Amino acid sequence: MSPDLVVPVGDLIVSPGKERPFAGTVAVSLDFGDSRVDGPMKVSGRVVGLIDAVEAELAVSATAHFTCTRCLTEWDGVVEVESKQYFRKLPDEDGYAIADDEIDVSGPARDELALALPATPLCREDCRGLCPTCGTDLNSEPCGGHGDDSDSPFATLKDLFDS
């Protein structure tokens, strides 16, 4: 929990329209299929007062590590997502609530980031993958005749097994 991402809202829930900006960074560790985030997640935005509730507008970004589902190439990429989250005194279905006149925006930020991660990232849309017989990376070289094109039933089968 980052103190910068715990926002006091006691004055906002009695002043509809009043707003408070926030910004902070918190370390997260997320694993989803072949995507992974293990490091800082940046969160910024503002909290706006409603009647007995607040609305938090979040902008979340983090560097994710991807492994291509087909050819196992690895790379890093920035994932960015924006969202809105309501907080009331009673917890919502995700358990988010105003507690002690404060909200912790790192929870919904982490959830949104996790939802934005692709389960089956591809290094490129038409990645040809690895030959299922000999393991050759078919993007860089054809292998010795193990059905070395992406229309091969083997490539399709491999996708099915990986997904």
Please report, as ranges, the residues that interact with Zn ion according to CB under 5 A. 68, 70-71, 73, 123, 127, 131, 133-134, 143, 146
Nearer to Zn ion, 22 or 66 (CB): 66
Instruction: Encode 131-151: b = buried (16+ Cβ within 10 Å), e = exposed.
Output: bbeeeebbbeeeeeeeebebe
Where do the H-state alpha helices sit in the chain?
Answer: 106-116, 153-162
Nearer to Zn ion, 114 or 143 (CB): 143
We find the least distance from the C-beta atom of residue 140 to Zn ion, in angstroms, to be 10
We find the least distance from the C-beta atom of residue 62 to Zn ion, in angstroms, to be 22
CB atoms within 10 A of CB 9: 22
Residues 6 or more apart whose CB falls under 8 angstroms from that of 128 comprise: 70, 71, 138, 139, 149, 150, 155
We find the least distance from the C-beta atom of residue 81 to Zn ion, in angstroms, to be 23
CB atoms within 10 A of CB 5: 23
We find the least distance from the C-beta atom of residue 61 to Zn ion, in angstroms, to be 24
Nearer to Zn ion, 53 or 127 (CB): 127
Nearer to Zn ion, 54 or 131 (CB): 131
